[in-house]
Amino acid sequence: MYRIAKEFQFSASHNLTTLPDGHPCRRVHGHNYKLEVELVAAELNEHGFVREYRDLDLLKTYIDECFDHRHLNDVLDMPTSEVLAKHFYDWCKERWDEVAAVRISETPKIWAEYRP
């Protein structure tokens, strides 16, 4: 199985309103997110690729227009990393059959991944 990945970055704020009062993530705060989309294929295409990396520029456009420097509560109902990972997975899978997983990091030490 061939596996490729591409990383994207964006900055955004959110607050997790279902958490108890006093929890720091209940307050509005921001992250410099890293999003990684992973694609897999058993065979390479006629160009020797799983998928041309430039095809994924469409994801960068979507991130820039809808997520970068936004308050994520205005974009998604529950903007946890887990929900973001599933949202981006679904968006990517509609466009590219080879998508296998999406991973999103809020900080260098934590990440969430959606992989069916």
CATH class of 2-114: alpha beta
Q: Which residue has the tokens 């979507």?
A: 62
Q: Residue ranges per domain, the chain? A: 2-114
Give per-residue pLDDT as tens, 4-43. 999 999 999 999 999 999 999 999 999 999 999 999 999 9
Report, as an integer, the average pLDDT of 77-100: 98
Binding residue per annotation — 29? yes
Name the token pair of 81. Answer: 């990393």
Catalytic machinery residues: 25, 69, 106
Residue-level pLDDT at 1: 96
pLDDT of residue 109: 95
Portion of the chain with pLDDT greater than 70, in percent: 100
**0.85 cut: is pTM over it?**
yes
Per-residue HEC secondary structure of 33-101 comes to EEEEEEEEECCCCCCCCCCCHHHHHHHHHHHHHHCCCEEHHHCCCCCCHHHHHHHHHHHHHCCCCCEEE
Mean pLDDT of the chain: 97
Give residue for tokens 């720091």: 24
